[in-house]
Amino acid sequence: MKSGQNDGKINPKNEGMIDSLLREGYADGRVAEAMRQIDRALFLPPSQMPSAYLDTPLPLMKGQTISAPGVVALMTKLLEVRGGMKVLEVGAGSGWQAALLGFLAGEKGKVFSIERIPELYEFAKNNLAKTNLRNVQIIFGDGTEGLPRAAPFDRIVVTAAAPQLPPPLLEQLAEQGKLVIPVGGSFFQELTLVEKSKGQLNSRDVLSVVFVPLIGKYGNPFRLQP
Which positions lie near ligand SAM, rule CB under 6 A? 64-67, 90-91, 93-94, 96-97, 114-117, 120, 142-144, 159-160, 211-212, 214-216, 219
Q: Which of 20, 47, 67, 208 is catalytic?
A: 67
Min dist CB 211 to ligand SAM, Å, is 6
Which H/E stretch holds residue 123?
helix 118-128
Residue with smaller CB distance to ligand SAM, 91 or 184: 91
Q: How far is the CB of 7 from ligand SAM (least distance, A)?
A: 22
Instruction: CB nearer to ligand SAM: give 142 or 154.
Output: 142
* 44-53, Cβ contacts within 8 angstroms, sequence gap of 24 or more: 44/94, 52/13, 52/14, 53/13, 53/14, 53/16, 53/17
Question: Is 208 among the residues known to form the active site?
Answer: no
Residue closer to ligand SAM (CB basis): 50 or 202: 50
CA–CA separation, 36 and 207 (whole Å) = 25
Nearest approach, Cβ of residue 219 and ligand SAM (Å): 5
Angle at 215 between CA 187 and CA 128, to 5 degrees: 105
Q: How far is the CB of 55 from ligand SAM (least distance, A)?
A: 14
Q: Is 103 buried (19+), middle (13-18) or exposed (0-12) by CB count in 10 A? A: buried
Report the residue number, 39 or 115, with the smaller CB distance to ligand SAM.
115
Q: Tell me if 114 sits within 8 A of 88, measured CB to CB.
A: yes
Residues marked active site are found at: 67
